[in-house]
Amino acid sequence: MEIGIVGLPRSGKTTVFNAVTRGKAQVATYGSAQAKPNVGVAKVPDERLDVMVKMFNPRKTVHAEVSYVDIPAPPEGFGKTKGISGEFLNFLQRTDALMVVTRGFEDPSVTHVADTVDPFRDIDTMMFELTFSDLEMIERRLLRMADRFKSAKQAERDQLNKEKVLIERLKEGLEAGKPIRGQEMTKDEEKTIEGFRFLTQKAVIVVLNAGEEQAGKVAEMEQKLAEHVKGEGVRGAVLLGKLEMELAQMDPADEEVFRKEMGVGESGLGRMVKLSYEVIGLNNFLTVGEDECRAWEIPAGISAQKAAGRIHSDIERGFIRAEVVAYKDLVECGSLVEAKKRGVLRMEGKEYIVKDGDIINFLFNV
C-alpha cells in the first residue's frame, strides 16, 4: 500500500512524513521541478503479531508495511496552478490513497502562502486542485474520443458512446462538487475508468498539522475537522507534526517514557497507519510458526484463495484448502495443537472470506 502526501507549501507535509515513517528527510519547501519524492516505509503496529511472536518465538518476524511518499509540489505550488499535470500528476496517480496535510500551526518565521493560517480554507483549496485535475483529464479524454469517433466502425462507436455517457456523468458530478469516489457506478463502469486513475476517486486522509502549543485543543480541532471532511472514503486527524517528528527520532523505549510524561498518547505513526488501513479498507491475516511470524496486508472481503496469492501466486493457483483459527481462539488455546483438539482450528475452502486477524496455513499443490 502506498500513500501519497501532498499539501500547500509550508504546510509541514515533510514534517508529517518524517513523523509517520521515522524518516529524516530535509524539512524544506521543494523549489525545483526536478525534485524527487521522499519515500519511507512504516511498519504496521499489530499487537496480535507481537503476541504470536511470544507464543512461537520465531527466528524471523515480519510486520505488514505501508509506504508513504512525500510528493513534491509543482514549482508554482499547489493552489496556484489550478490543476495538476506532468510528473506531479504521475506521482499522485501511482498511489493507493492521498494524505492531504493542512497547516494549523502558527509560526511567524514560516510565512503562509496565503498570509494567514486557515486550515479549512486550505483543505478546500487542495480538494479543488484534485477536482480540477480530474476535470482536465475528462476534457482531454472527450476530445480524443470525438476524434476517434469520426473514423470508428459501428461497434467501436457504440462503445465510445457508452463511455462518453459515463464520463459526462462523472463530469457533471465533479462540477457539482461531488468527488468520483462518492458517485455511484456499476462494476463495469468502475472497470471502464480504471485506467484513468482519477485523483478524486482515491481515498483521502486529511491531516491538520498543529503546533505543540495546541495540544490541549486537539479533541476540539478533530471535531471541527470531522464536520468539515465528511464523505465516503475520507478521514481526518489532528497531528502535532513537529513534536511527533522529534519523538519519532528517539529510541522507542525513551519515546514511550516521554509520551507518558507529556500525555500525548499513541504515536503519530500508529494513528496514521490505522487511518490508512481504515480509509482504504484493509485487513491483516497472520502466518505463524517457529521459522517466521508474519502479518499480511489484504483488502477486506477477499477470499482465502485470493489471500493465498498475497504470499505467492503458486499458492493461489494450487490452492487446496486453508487451515484457519481466529486470533482470540488461538490465544485462549495457547497452541495450534490445543486449538485443533478443541475444534477451533478448522478447514476452509477457496471461497472463505478471510477475517481480520485470522491465523492461516495454506495447503496447496502445484
Q: Which residues of 4-16 are buried (b: 16+ CB within 10 A; e: fewer)?
A: bbbbbbebbbbbb
Residue 48, pLDDT above cutoff 70: yes
Cα–Cα distance, 146 to 37 (Å, whole number): 36
CB 323 within 8 A of CB 304: no
Backbone angle region of 57, left / alpha / beta, with phi > 0 → left and psi within -120 to 50 → alpha: left
Query: What are 150-165's pLDDT values in tens digits?
Result: 888 888 888 889 999 9
Residue 233, pLDDT above cutoff 60: yes
Confidence bin at 347 (pLDDT 50/70/90): very high
Domains defined for the chain, CATH in brackets: 2-41+66-116+202-266 (3.40.50.300), 133-199 (1.10.150.300), 301-364 (3.10.20.30)
3 Cβ neighbours under 8 A, 6+ residues apart: 66, 67, 68, 69, 95, 96, 97, 98, 99, 205, 276
- What secondary structure letter does DSSP report for 56? H
Confidence bin at 85 (pLDDT 50/70/90): low
User: Helix (H, G, I), strand (E, B), or coil: what is residue 38?
Assistant: strand
Query: What are 247-294's pLDDT values in tens digits?
Result: 888 888 888 888 888 777 788 888 888 888 888 999 999 999 999 999
User: Helix (H, G, I), strand (E, B), or coil: what is residue 355?
Assistant: coil
For residue 158, give the H/E element and its range: helix 154-175
Quote the pLDDT of residue 34: 46
Alpha-carbon distances, residue 155 vs 146, 148, 151, 215 (angstroms): 15, 13, 12, 62
Mean pLDDT within 2-14? 91
DSSP-assigned letters across all residues of 218-263: HHHHHHHHHHHS-STTEEEEEE-HHHHHHHHTS-HHHHHHHHHHHT
User: For residue 37, how many other CB atoms are within 10 A of its CB?
Assistant: 19
Quote the pLDDT of residue 167: 95
Query: What are 56-80's pLDDT values in tens digits?
Result: 999 999 999 999 999 876 655 565 5
Query: What are 117-129's pLDDT values in tens digits?
Result: 999 999 999 999 9
The separation between CA 87 and the C-alpha centre of its own chain, rounded to angstroms, equals 20
Confidence bin at 329 (pLDDT 50/70/90): very high
